[in-house]
Amino acid sequence: MDVRIGIIQTPKELDVELAEGSDREQVIADVERALADPEGILWLTDKRGRRVAVPSARIAYVEVGAQTEERRVGFGAP
């Protein structure tokens, strides 16, 4: 599952690919909890075990990808 985070006053996005089996609803709950506290920090762990921290005051938006692991490539891709 991919999570894309937009950072305030930065043209780039932070892309984090979470480990297989990550619970989408739990990730969304973690994001909501971090955004509720202006001094909070959103912590995510990517598929390689690296931890990523983003101060909630700097988050512009968060996109949480679909939980499905199927990625189609080529002419049949949507």
* Helix residue spans in the chain (DSSP H): 24-36
Q: Is the pLDDT of residue 77 over 90?
A: no
Residue 52 lies in a domain: yes
Residue 37 lies in a domain: yes
Residue 32 lies in a domain: yes
Burial class (CB in 10 A: 0-12, 13-18, 19+), 50: exposed
State which residues form the domain around 39: 2-64
Q: Is the pLDDT of residue 67 over 60?
A: yes
| 8-35 residue pLDDT tens | 998 889 999 998 888 999 999 999 999 9
What is the domain count for the chain?
Answer: 1
For position 72, what pLDDT does the model report? 63
Residue 54 lies in a domain: yes
Residue 44 lies in a domain: yes
Strand segments, DSSP code E, in the chain are: 2-7, 13-17, 41-45, 51-55, 59-64
For position 50, what pLDDT does the model report? 94
End-to-end CA distance of the chain: 18
